Amino acid sequence: MSPQRTPPAGGGDAAPACGTWEAVRRRALPELAAATGFTPHADGGLSFPFLGEPRRVDPAAGRLLRPRGAAWEPAADPLLELVLRQYLCRARRPLPEDGPPVGVRDLREGHFFRGPHALDFGPLLERYGADPEGFAATARRLAAEPVALADRAFRFRPLPRVPITLLLWTADEEFPARMTALFARTIEEVLPADAIWALVSRTVRALLDGRP
């Protein structure tokens, strides 16, 4: 067991770790908006499009909200909340999306995506492996943009400036259907490996549900 560190005299409380609402609350909303592409909301917090549907995050209350008619209601979405707590803590600049995309093997923490944390596209392949047009139709409902890769590929935007591209190869006589994910190389500036896994998993769930 590592020995506990003694805080320096007069140093006050240590800064909260990224991944907590407390850490997010230490940042000003205008600063967060500039770094993330989110928009300050008149009722407090920040709004952003999640796969084409509005969401609102309220760091002061530590909660995520979704629209219900003309009002907002709490959204029970633990995967997306995990991602937001990391993103809002780590984002320091508007991320560029240009440059060649990378797969999980190209990430510094690529070793995380093995074994139990391998990205699971099995349910998507069962649903869309022989139905690329169905995949395309659902992707468009989630505001994804077509990309000229594989048999079908779409760029999803679960967060502004954090795109995820899913590539589908349909089955043929020689190979089964398969799918992979590509990211902007800058994704590791704002999300650790477990949050990248959570964001992909949440996008997969939206594709299976047919809605964000």
Closest CA relative to residue 86, chosen from 12, 192, 178:
192
Residue 16 banded pLDDT, cuts 50, 70, 90:
confident
Contact 102, 183 (CB under 8 A): yes
Residue 3 has pLDDT above 50, yes or no: no
Decide if pLDDT at 78 tops 60: yes
Tell me, yes or no, whether 59 and 152 share the same domain.
no
The number of distinct structural domains making up the chain is 2
Average pLDDT over residues 158-165: 96
Indicate the SS3 state at residue 136: helix
Same domain, 85 and 182: no
Domain assignment of residue 39, yes or no: yes
CA–CA separation, 198 and 110 (whole Å): 14
**Domain range enclosing 109:** 104-209
Compute the mean pLDDT over every residue in the chain, rounded to the nearest whole number. 92
Cβ density class 105-138: b for 16+ within 10 Å, e for less: eebeeeebbeeeeebebeebbeebbeebeebbeb
Look at residue 5 and tell me whether its pLDDT is greater than 70: no
Tell me, yes or no, whether 26 and 113 share the same domain: no
Answer yes or no: is 6 within a domain.
Answer: no
Q: Please write the tens of the pLDDT for every residue from 45-54.
A: 999 999 999 9
Place 14 in a pLDDT band, splitting at 50, 70 and 90: low
- Separation CA 115–CA 98 (nearest Å): 31
Q: Are residues 81 and 117 both part of a single domain?
A: no
Span 86-145, pLDDT tens digits: 999 999 988 887 778 999 999 999 999 999 999 999 999 999 999 999 999 999 999 999
Q: What are phi and psi of 4, to 5 degrees?
A: -70, 140
* Whole-angstrom distance, CA of residue 156 vs CA of residue 183: 10
Task: Kindly state whether residues 108 and 181 are assigned to the same domain.
Answer: yes
Compute the average pLDDT of residues 177-203.
Answer: 97
How far is 14 from 31, CA to CA, in rounded Å?
22
Statement: residue 4 has pLDDT above 70: no
Share of the chain above pLDDT 70, in %: 92
Q: Is residue 109 part of a domain?
A: yes
What's the confidence (pLDDT) of residue 100?
85
Provide the pairing of β-strand 46-50 with 53-58: antiparallel
Q: What is residue 203's predicted lDDT score, i.e. its pLDDT?
A: 99
**pLDDT at residue 132, rounded to an integer:** 97
